[in-house]
Amino acid sequence: MAFIKEFGCWLPEHIVTSEEAGSWVGSDAEWVRNVSGIDERRFAPESDTVAGLAARAGADCLRRAGMRAKDLGMVFVASGTSERAFPGPACTAARLLGAEGVPAVDVPMASAGSLFALALASRLAAQLGAILVIGAEKMSRVVLREPREKGVAILFGDGAGACLVTPDAGRSEIVDSILCSDGTHAEDLMLENGAPLKMNGRSVILHASRKIPAVIRAVLDRNKVPPAEVQTYLLHQANQNLLDRIASALGIASERFFSNIRRYGNTSSASMLIAACEWCRAEGFRPGAPVVFGAFGAGFHWGALLARGV
Amino acid sequence: MDRRSKLIEILKSVTKKDVDIAPDESLFESGILDSFALPDLVSALEQEFSIEIPDSHLNPRKFESIERIEEYLDSRA
């Protein structure tokens, strides 16, 4: 058994409007809004690191949970924008949090990383105790690389989200999860060292549009939960048009899919936990009500996780 | 209705656009099909031609033009 005890997040102060981002690629705010649903995103200062962002979101989560970092059983940090190949940001983030000696594991998977870490944490918490899951991205480092591609430069923002998973009690119980990977299309979304991000948007949208609804249906079906009974869907905030498409495929009103992409853009691995953090503070789990987490990203990796309010 | 006419009707229905295009011309480059209409096209093809298109066949290039779509449908016959 594992429970979600608390969420945390951190967003940079600096706002980059879609007017500004559109101007980088010879377009305007209206075009950006139409293709992505994004009005603005946040960029962290150049001196900030992924580990620094991760530690701030993790600290916010631990403070709200009233838990000390040194009492953690493990730390996961998901990120696709680490400044170096190794060591990844997990060990530095854990040190910044005061969790020296606690095993800190990197999940370098970009968009689906937080979901994978959350699912793994739910299966490890009974053995290891409380596990802090963090997703942190400094996408600005990638976005600002030349040449800036039209379909990429306007999408992304910086930020970090966190979730504390415990074996005993929390806001919701993690009931089940399904994780999937298929490297057939690995080159359709990739970031090579020092290079611009490469994205075959057609392939990504085509696969995501089919795989996310399918995996959500699968986790709901095997737990006998109709899609309409789910209180809220908390998905990776990739693109508003994609979220709307997934909602439609499941026969659910888009409003049931929490969305903050208009304000933060796509923050890759951080986005699902930032969304969960904001949703939890605004609405929160209802006792007994199912909540679905989901993500799809480079790899391709994708999956869904079912939780139920306590 | 022959298959090509049926395909054009499907494209019109999915994209809500006129489909006045050569069979070998790119549906993407011509602006008829975009990333978000492509999944709808694939679903419509499955329904209209009673086939299941597996994830391993989900390559946008297979649906790049009317000719490409016809080739794909031939491969599934």
The chain-wide mean pLDDT, for chain A, equals 96
Which member of B35, B56, B59 has the closest CB to residue A205? B35
| Rounded mean pLDDT, A55-64 | 98
Dihedral of CA A86/A89/A95/A99: which sign?
negative
Mutation target to probe the A interface, by most A beta carbons within 10 A, among B36, B57, B69 is B36
Select from B55, B61, B63 the residue whose CB has the most chain A CBs within 10 Å, as the one to mutate to test that interface: B55
Per the CB < 8 Å rule, is B38 touching A245? no
Residue of B nearest to A208 (CA): B39
Q: CA-CA distance, A212 to A235, in Å (whole number)?
A: 9
Per-residue pLDDT of A24-45, as tens digits, reads 999 999 999 999 999 999 999 9
Reference A201, options B47, B33, B32, B54; nearest CA is: B33
We report the CATH number of the domain holding residue B59 as 1.10.1200.10
Nearest CA in chain B to A203: B60
DSSP state of B63: G
Chain-chain contact of A206 with B35 (C-beta, under 8 angstroms): yes
pLDDT confidence of residue A124: 98
Note the pLDDT of residue B77: 80
Q: pLDDT of B31-70, one tens digit each?
A: 999 999 999 999 999 999 999 999 999 999 999 999 999 9
List pLDDT tens digits, range A212-257: 999 999 999 999 999 999 999 999 999 999 999 999 999 999 999 9
Residue B59 three-state SS: coil
Q: Contact A206/B39, CB-based, under 8 Å?
A: yes
Nearest-Cα distance to chain A for B36, in Å, is 7
| Domain range for B54 | 3-76
To the nearest whole Å, the CA of A133 is away from the closest chain B CA by 30
Distance from CA of B2 to the nearest CA of A (A): 27
pLDDT at A149: 84
| pLDDT value for A193 | 85
Pair type for strands A40-42 and A15-17: antiparallel
A186 — contact with chain B (CB < 8 Å)?
no
- Flag if B55 and A182 touch (Cβ within 8 Å): yes
DSSP β-bridge partners for residue B55:
none
Largest CA distance in chain B: 30
Q: Which of A182, A202, A241 sits opposite B60 (nearest CB)?
A: A202
Overall domain count for chain B: 1
The answer to whether A202 contacts B39, with C-beta atoms less than 8 Å apart, is no
* Tens of pLDDT, residues B3-18: 999 999 999 999 999 9
Buried b / exposed e over A246-275, threshold 16 CB at 10 Å, is: bbebbebeeeebbbbbbbbbbbbbbbbbbb
- Cβ separation B60–A211 shorter than 8 A: no
Q: Quick one: DSSP state of residue B53?
A: -
Q: A90-94: long-range contacts (C-beta < 8 A, 24 or more apart)?
A: A90/A51, A90/A54, A92/A49, A92/A51, A92/A55, A93/A51, A93/A52, A93/A54, A93/A55, A93/A58, A93/A134, A93/A136, A94/A69
Q: Is the Cβ of A281 closer than 8 Å to some Cβ of chain B?
A: no
- Give contacts of B 26-65 with A, CB under 8 A: 28, 35-36, 38-39, 42, 55-56, 58-60
Q: Do the beta carbons of residue A96 and residue A51 sit within 8 Å?
A: yes
List residues bridging with A104 in a β-sheet: A75
